[in-house]
Amino acid sequence: QVELVESGGGLVQAGGSLRLSCLASGRTFSSYDVGWFRQAPGKEREFVAAIDRRDSSFSYADSVAGRCTISRDNAKSTVYLRINTLKPEDTAVYFCAAQIFDGSRWYSRDSFDYFYRGQGTQVTVSS
């Protein structure tokens, strides 16, 4: 069983930065691949970034590539998402999700492929 709790959201001006945290319970967090997703009002859920359990593979959505960094600290059971140069269109609820992927893939851009998902943290970017 894994419980995910996000934090670090808030109100920030355009051009600013935020670092979101995803804290996981459970002693086997290092076995999980983790993704970050976001959902804005009236919009579909969107993949943001993913990191594999070994902290060796990363993937980013085109919308955040170049200004976003995903990282993890397995000793702290935490995955981080830092977004720089925030834009109003980054406004959304951000949530993390965890899954142990097998076979040919190590992540998915569909949040429903992750068994565990957090409740999310609100990020609001003002122009």
Calpha distance 45→40 (Å, rounded):
7
Strands 92-99, 78-83: pairing kind: unpaired
C-beta separation of 18 from 12 below 8 A: yes
Is the pLDDT confidence value at 28 over 90? no
- pLDDT tens digits for 73-98? 999 999 999 999 999 999 999 999 99
Q: Among all chains, which residue has been given the structure tokens 């999310």? A: 120
pLDDT tens figures, 44-63: 999 999 999 998 899 999 99
- For the chain, the average pLDDT equals 95
Nearest to 30 by CA among 122, 100, 88: 100
Q: Within 13 Å of residue 18, how many CA atoms lie on the same side as its CB?
A: 23
The answer to whether 123 and 19 have CB atoms below 8 angstroms apart is: no
Cβ neighbour number for residue 54 with a 10 Å cutoff: 11
